[in-house]
């Protein structure tokens, strides 16, 4: 056996292996995350490609700590500081959606169900069954064609929601509002060339007036980004009298600056308020699970959201979104 005396000194154990990353490799990981954080914070998603990519922000936030670990492994103070700052910024943008706010409104309840019917292919009996189980006061539908209207009628929608403001159309352009209470038609807010976005007014028992806008913007793909932005810009601010609710397929997530501009007019996102802001709604009924959230119920900040949930509907690529709201008192 070899001893210290034999070798004339101490026997040193081999050093433990440490993960080392080159600084160029660390920056290759950190830089995209940092750019993403800056783009999200500064609202730089105003053109093609970056608008589509911005829906992935929750996933970039999820992996951002690994960029910080790569910076630590490279022992680069600048990379560490950049990665940590990016992770914090992304976390602050995304994590609040998983935590519910305390409702403050004390007035009557209003239940909203919204669903994009995918060119009129959504399963009408399932939609009517959801109405029967969830008991919404209002159903807003997008991509509603005449055949789908007939299918909903055959499934019994009229017995549950007897009033309607329907602007059906072929392809993606049709939309319709179905209501438990009488409706008064209001001007369509959609810019010329976009999908129908009907609006209607109803009065709840007790006298509280509510205005519903059935939202369906164009998809922000390629040259349609400008039209998508115009659609969102056209959405009205909350009314001074009636409580206004925007419900439907916005083709936008909370990470899009254009949707945050709508919220800044005086709205709150119902799913965000109830801690369900990360529940994905599209694409549904595919081999992969839904991974982005583009269907929303936005409500005047004087009101409160108390519950939200998403529901599968065969035949459509969107999940239905349900929101129970509490309106302001008299």
Q: Please write the tens of the pLDDT for every residue from 321-330.
A: 999 999 998 7
CA–CA gap between residue 263 and residue 205 (Å, rounded) = 28
Of 51, 79, 98, the residue at which a domain comes to its end is 98
Residues 28-81 have pLDDT tens digits of 999 999 999 999 999 999 999 999 999 999 999 999 999 999 999 999 999 999
Residues 250-268 have pLDDT tens digits of 999 999 999 999 999 999 9
**Residues 219, 278 within the same domain:** yes
Asked whether residue 2 is assigned to any structural domain, the reply reads: no
User: Do residues 260 and 43 touch, judged by C-beta distance below 8 A?
Assistant: yes
User: What is the pLDDT averaged over residues 6-18?
Assistant: 52
pLDDT attached to residue 10: 57
**Residues 139, 274 within the same domain:** yes
Per-residue confidence band for 235, with pLDDT thresholds at 50, 70 and 90: very high
3-state secondary structure of 279: coil
pTM: 0.92
**Residues 82, 114 within the same domain:** no
Q: How far is CA 195 from CA 28, 247, 249, in A?
A: 42, 14, 11
**Residues 195, 303 within the same domain:** yes
**Residues 195, 290 within the same domain:** yes
Instruction: Please give the full DSSP string across 54-77, using - where no structure is assigned.
Output: GGGHHHHHHHHHHHHHHHHHHT-H
**Residues 114, 94 within the same domain:** no
Of 98, 126, 141, the residue at which a domain comes to its end is 98
**Residues 211, 250 within the same domain:** yes
**Residues 153, 253 within the same domain:** yes
Q: Which of 169, 168, 173, 325 is nearest to 249 (CA)?
A: 173
Which domain range does residue 199 map to? 109-326
Residues 88-143 have pLDDT tens digits of 999 999 999 999 999 999 999 999 999 999 999 999 999 999 999 999 999 999 99
């Amino acid at each position: 056996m070899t001893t210290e005396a034999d070798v004339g000194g101490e026997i040193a154990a081999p050093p433990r292996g440490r993960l080392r990353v080159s600084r160029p490799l660390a920056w290759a990981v950190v830089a995209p995350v940092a750019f993403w954080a800056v783009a999200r914070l500064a609202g730089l998603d105003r053109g093609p490609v970056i608008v589509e990519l911005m829906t992935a922000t929750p996933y970039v936030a999820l992996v951002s700590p690994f960029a910080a670990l790569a910076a630590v492994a490279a022992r680069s103070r600048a990379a560490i500081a950049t990665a940590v700052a990016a992770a914090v910024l992304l976390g602050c943008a995304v994590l609040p959606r998983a935590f519910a706010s305390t409702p403050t409104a004390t007035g009557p309840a209003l239940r909203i169900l919204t669903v994009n019917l995918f060119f009129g292919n959504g399963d009408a009996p399932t939609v009517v069954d959801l109405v029967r189980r969830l008991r919404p006061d209002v159903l807003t539908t997008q991509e509603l064609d005449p055949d789908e209207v007939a299918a909903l009628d055959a499934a019994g929608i009229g017995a549950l929601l007897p009033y309607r403001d329907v602007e059906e159309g072929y392809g993606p352009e049709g939309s319709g509002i179905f209501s438990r209470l009488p409706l008064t038609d209001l001007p369509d807010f959609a810019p010329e060339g976009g999908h129908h976005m009907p609006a209607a007014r109803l009065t709840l028992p007790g006298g509280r007036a509510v205005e519903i806008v059935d939202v369906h913007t164009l998809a922000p793909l390629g040259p349609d980004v400008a039209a998508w932005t115009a659609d969102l810009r056209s959405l009205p601010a909350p009314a001074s009298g009636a409580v206004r609710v925007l419900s439907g397929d916005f083709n936008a997530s909370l990470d899009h600056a254009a949707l945050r501009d709508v919220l800044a007019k005086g709205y709150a996102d119902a799913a965000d308020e109830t801690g369900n802001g990360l529940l994905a709604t599209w694409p549904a009924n595919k081999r992969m699970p839904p991974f982005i959230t583009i269907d929303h119920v936005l409500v005047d900040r004087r009101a409160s959201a108390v519950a939200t949930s998403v529901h599968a509907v065969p035949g459509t690529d969107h999940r239905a979104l349900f929101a129970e709201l509490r309106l302001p008192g008299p």
